[in-house]
Structure formats: structure tokens, C-alpha cells
């Protein structure tokens, strides 16, 4: 007799081979009852308690916040692994099972999780919640046109905006686990303080770059919120989704911007192919402009497990440091 878990695991494994298998953590028991390779790390908060709530988060940035606030009161499943592009991520069967079984599903919204929008936006059963963190923000917070499909979804790139979503996570968890409310509030307060500190660190880091050189050129337009908050002009080769076609006409435009502003470096992103950035560097070289490549930025996904960027605070600190060093012209 065949093991019903076997097929799911084989499919998962072959897919994950394509999705940087090495970044994955060891198997745990998923809500479907089959061993799942999904990241259910509990971090410094220990293993989930027996009565823990089944919670799903789409991206690593969201999972990290839920983990910080929920601790071992939640049994967390992160759907989109480290290093994987959320715009293009297509849910597998295990993901759908996890979403259907979860008491709370936290997602970004604003069509970041493009291929999961239908299932995430669907109305869950009455005892379950689907929570879009972008619902914690108001129209003034958004970049783009709130009444259209053109709102930029990369809200975590402004730490002060991301901090506004902490309350929504805390309230959603408290609604399902009211006996833990005081504990969630305390953890949320601590997280807000850490985020405020990180936000100040970001401002100080970017202020060190000579004004004219505060131009961030990267693979796709993930950094508009980052630029607005910390004072940089941001130019991506692709638009706000990696699903959009990169226009070849962008390359000469970007080289012109580099030349006019003496921009010393451009950036690749961990979750996006870097060949268009290579094209910018080659194009600049053909005009005798030497462009450095800064350290790879973490735009739409955390760094690999065990790295300094495997959590939201570390990811953003890495980005602040990488941008401030490279655009200041430091090696
Ligand atoms: Zn993106």
C-alpha cells in the first residue's frame, strides 16, 4: 500500500530542489499529518506548546513578526521559503492544506502573493481569520494609486510602516487566544521598540552617503518605500512586480542616471535574477564608467536560515549597511 504522505513529499522535494533546497530547515509534522519540509522554526521562543494555535504566514518577514509576538503559543508554517520570489511563487498542495487548516493566515496583500491572491482573499470558515497586514495601513501610507491595482506592495521596506502592522498581528492572535493577551501585548511592545531603534539606525546610515549619490539602483522596484522613508532616489530595472517585463530601454536610462549623479554602485537582490544589473554594469563600462556591485540586498525574502539576515531586523540592518557602504564609495 502506498503511503499517502509519500506523493506529497516527493512533489515537495523535487520542487524544493529547484527552490534552493539547501535553505530549507528539517522536516516537522505539518497540519496535513504528513512530514513537511516547511519552515516551522520557533526560534528563541522554543517549541510550540500542545495547545498552540495553527498559524500560517506567507513570507519570512511576516513569519518573523508572528514568531516574535506569538512565541510558543503558535505553531507557525511559513509558506514562501527564504530566497524565493513571492510575486512568482505558486502554492503547492501542502500550502493549500495549511491555509485551509490554519486558525489564522497572515499575508501581505496588495497582490504581493500574486498567485495565491484568490485563496488568501477567499472568505474562511467563521472560526478562522485571513489577515492582510497591509490592512493596518491607510491610503496615505501607500505608494501608488490605492483605488487601482497599482499599489506598491513592498511595505516592509519602511520600518516605521511595518511597525504599524504589529498591532494587527497582536489583536488577531489575542482574538483567538484571549488568555495569552497580556503576553502578546508585552511582546508587541518590545518589538515596536526594536523596530523604532532599527528605523533610527536606517536614517543615520543613509545620512552618511553624500547627498548626490543617494540613488539606489536594483533589479526590481522593491525599494520605493525604503527610498521615501530614508531619503534615496530609487530606480529599478523591473517594475513593482518581478512578473512584469524588464524594458530594455531602462538600461540606457539607468546609465544616464549613474553618470549624472556619480553613482558608485548598483545592487542585485537575493530573490531576483541579477542579469539585468549585469547589463547596466556592462553598458556603463562601454562608456568608461566603472560601477561597483554592492552587497546583495534582501528585498522580497529573508536570508538563508542561520545567516545574519534570517530575521526581519537582521535583513533590514543588512540592507542599510550594504546601501550606505556601497553608495558612499566604500569597498
Ligand atoms: Zn517585489
β-bridge pairing 265-266 and 292-293: parallel
* CA dihedral of 77, 79, 84, 87, whole degrees rounded to 10: -140
Ligand 1 centroid, distance to 192 Cα (angstroms) = 24
Ligand 1 centroid, distance to 269 Cα (angstroms) = 10
SS3 of 64, please?
helix
pLDDT category of residue 247 using cuts at 50, 70 and 90: low
- Nearest to residue 311, comparing CAs of 174, 224, 198? 198
- Nearest to residue 278, comparing CAs of 300, 299, 301, 255? 255
Ligand 1 centroid, distance to 211 Cα (angstroms) = 26
Q: In degrees, to the nearest 5, what angle opens at C-alpha 260 toward C-alphas 217 and 273?
A: 20
Ligand 1 centroid, distance to 85 Cα (angstroms) = 7
Ligand 1 centroid, distance to 264 Cα (angstroms) = 24
Average pLDDT over every residue of 230-255? 82
**Per-residue pLDDT tens over the stretch 65-104:** 999 999 999 999 999 999 899 999 999 999 999 999 999 9
SS3 of 104, please?
strand
Distance in angstroms (rounded) separating the CA atoms of residues 307 and 325: 20
Ligand 1 centroid, distance to 242 Cα (angstroms) = 6
Please determine, for residue 24, whether its predicted confidence score (pLDDT) is greater than 70. no
Distance from the first to the final alpha carbon of the chain: 60
Long-range contacts formed by 32-37: CB under 8 A, 24+ apart = 32/5, 32/8, 32/94, 32/97, 32/98, 32/101, 33/5, 34/4, 34/5, 34/8, 34/9, 34/94, 35/5, 35/9, 36/12, 36/77, 36/94, 36/98, 37/9, 37/12, 37/13
Average pLDDT over every residue of 48-76? 95
Q: In degrees, to the nearest 5, what angle opens at C-alpha 310 toward C-alphas 33 and 304?
A: 75
- Nearest to residue 241, comparing CAs of 162, 304, 153? 153
Give the pLDDT confidence score for residue 141 in this predicted structure: 96
Ligand 1 centroid, distance to 86 Cα (angstroms) = 7
Distance in angstroms (rounded) separating the CA atoms of residues 102 and 119: 13
DSSP 159: H
**pLDDT over 90 for what percent of the chain?**
69
CA distances 311 to 18, 61, 65, 305, 306, Å, are 23, 7, 9, 9, 9
Ligand 1 centroid, distance to 170 Cα (angstroms) = 26
**Per-residue pLDDT tens over the stretch 171-213:** 999 999 999 999 999 999 999 999 999 999 999 999 999 999 9
Ligand 1 centroid, distance to 169 Cα (angstroms) = 22
Ligand 1 centroid, distance to 149 Cα (angstroms) = 15
Distance in angstroms (rounded) separating the CA atoms of residues 102 and 258: 48
Ligand 1 centroid, distance to 225 Cα (angstroms) = 12
pLDDT category of residue 240 using cuts at 50, 70 and 90: low
Does this model's pTM top 0.75? yes
| Of 24 and 169, more confident | 169
Please determine, for residue 17, whether its predicted confidence score (pLDDT) is greater than 50. no
**Per-residue pLDDT tens over the stretch 118-145:** 889 888 888 899 999 999 999 999 999 7
Domains of the chain with bracketed CATH: 4-199 (3.40.50.1980), 204-327 (3.40.50.1980)
Ligand 1 centroid, distance to 46 Cα (angstroms) = 31
Ligand 1 centroid, distance to 3 Cα (angstroms) = 38
Ligand 1 centroid, distance to 312 Cα (angstroms) = 16
Ligand 1 centroid, distance to 240 Cα (angstroms) = 6
Mean pLDDT of the chain: 85
Please determine, for residue 39, whether its predicted confidence score (pLDDT) is greater than 60. no
Amino acid at each position: 500500500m502506498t503511503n499517502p504522505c509519500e506523493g506529497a513529499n516527493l512533489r515537495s522535494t523535487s520542487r524544493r530542489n529547484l527552490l534552493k533546497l539547501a535553505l530549507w530547515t528539517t522536516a516537522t509534522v505539518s497540519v496535513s499529518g504528513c512530514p513537511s519540509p516547511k519552515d516551522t522554526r520557533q526560534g528563541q521562543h522554543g517549541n510550540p506548546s500542545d495547545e498552540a494555535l495553527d498559524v500560517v504566514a506567507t513570507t519570512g518577514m511576516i513569519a518573523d513578526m508572528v514568531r516574535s509576538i506569538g512565541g510558543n503559543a503558535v505553531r507557525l508554517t511559513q509558506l514562501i521559503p527564504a530566497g524565493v520570489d513571492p510575486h512568482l511563487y505558486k502554492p503547492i498542495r501542502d500550502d493549500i492544506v495549511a491555509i485551509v487548516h490554519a486558525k489564522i493566515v497572515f499575508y501581505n496583500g496588495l497582490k504581493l502573493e500574486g498567485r495565491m491572491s484568490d485563496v488568501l482573499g477567499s472568505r474562511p470558515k467563521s472560526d478562522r481569520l485571513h489577515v492582510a497586514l497591509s490592512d493596518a495601513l491607510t491610503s496615505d501610507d501607500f505608494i501608488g494609486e490605492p483605488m487601482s491595482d497599482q499599489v506598491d506592495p513592498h511595505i516592509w521596506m519602511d520600518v516605521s510602516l511595518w511597525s504599524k502592522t504589529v498591532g494587527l498581528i497582536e489583536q488577531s492572535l489575542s482574538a483567538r487566544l484571549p488568555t495569552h493577551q497580556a503576553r502578546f501585548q508585552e511582546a508587541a511592545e518590545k518589538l515596536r521598540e526594536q523596530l523604532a531603534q532599527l528605523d533610527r539606525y536606517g536614517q543615520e546610515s543613509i545620512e552618511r552617503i553624500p547627498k548626490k549619490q543617494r540613488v539606489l539602483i536594483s533589479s526590481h522596484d522593491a525599494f520605493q518605500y525604503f527610498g521615501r522613508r530614508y531619503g534615496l532616489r530609487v530606480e529599478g530595472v523591473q517594475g513593482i512586480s518581478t512578473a512584469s517585463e524588464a524594458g530594455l530601454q531602462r538600461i540606457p536610462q539607468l546609465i544616464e542616471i549613474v553618470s549624472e549623479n556619480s553613482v558608485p554602485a548598483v545592487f542585485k537582490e537575493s530573490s531576483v535574477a541579477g542579469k539585468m544589473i549585469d547589463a547596466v554594469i556592462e553598458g556603463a563600462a562601454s562608456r568608461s564608467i566603472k560601477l561597483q556591485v554592492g552587497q546583495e540586498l534582501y528585498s522580497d525574502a529573508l536570508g538563508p536560515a542561520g545567516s545574519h539576515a534570517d530575521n526581519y531586523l537582521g535583513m533590514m540592518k543588512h540592507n542599510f549597511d550594504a546601501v550606505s557602504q556601497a553608495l558612499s564609495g566604500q569597498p
